[in-house]
Amino acid sequence: MPITSLQNERIAELLRLDKKRHRDETGRFVVEGPHLVLEAVEEGLCETVFSLADPGYPGVETLLVSEAVMAKIAATYTPQGILAIVRRPRPLPAGDRILLLDGIQDPGNMGTILRTALAFGFSTVVADGCVDFYNQKVLRSTQGAVFRLNLIEAPLPEWIDAHPSVAVYGTDPHGGVAVDGIVPPSGPLALILGNEGAGIRPGLLAKTVRNVFVETDGVESLNVAIAGAIVMHRLRAR
């Protein structure tokens, strides 16, 4: 029989994960939709599936729910009929390309940035004062990239000071050098992307070895996700 009550303890457990504090305490989060659930299953991170119909994932606990319950627990206006509680991925090696995010607030930007980081080899992402990596809108925007990145929340000034061997590049539309003229270094490199409105904090720009910008015609600056994609492509490991 499907679960028909929102007071069911398993449903209550799922709903508690709406809160970042509970996600951080438990090391778990919720993904929604067949694509993300399947990604979690294939990565071995899926704990419990909540679905209108049994998707047939061997070895994964599946709880059927009524359409009324699904409509209440789904984060989207048009529920896709399946969601899951999953564990956060285990930490991965930092690699030689690291992305540092200073105050990114828009979930769509964050999701796009994470997908781009994975595409261009920035396998570790460190966030300071940003929208949560495991926010539902961010997760949908990542399209599964969240499962294959090393995601860290930490104060960026302290992180930079603790990694003196990493060459840190900043992005500054009002200073620095055009990124097209940069020859990517062979060693470890970190790139900072800043807040959508305020940019990177001046104290962080002061800690970089070089600041770069994307040359444009007719506009002063680009959306942070678009500018970040251009710079990451230029600075990716060769």
Q: Give domain limits for the chain.
A: 9-87, 97-235
Q: What angle do CA 43, 44, 45 make, to 5 degrees?
A: 90
Q: Specify the pTM.
A: 0.91
pLDDT value, residue 90: 85
pLDDT value, residue 201: 93
pLDDT value, residue 208: 94
pLDDT value, residue 18: 93
Mean pLDDT per 10-residue section of the chain, whose length is 238 residues: 90 94 95 94 95 93 94 83 93 88 96 96 96 94 91 96 94 83 86 91 92 80 89 86
Q: Which residue has the tokens 């007071």?
A: 7
- Helix or strand run (H / E) with residue 98: strand 97-102
207 close to 158: Cβ distance less than 8 angstroms: no
193 close to 103: Cβ distance less than 8 angstroms: no
pLDDT value, residue 79: 81
Question: What does DSSP assign to residue 3?
Answer: B
pLDDT value, residue 181: 81
The fold for domain 97-235 equals Alpha/beta knot (3.40.1280)
CA 83/CA 158 separation, integer angstroms: 37
Q: For domain 9-87, give the CATH number.
A: 3.30.1330.30
137 close to 111: Cβ distance less than 8 angstroms: yes
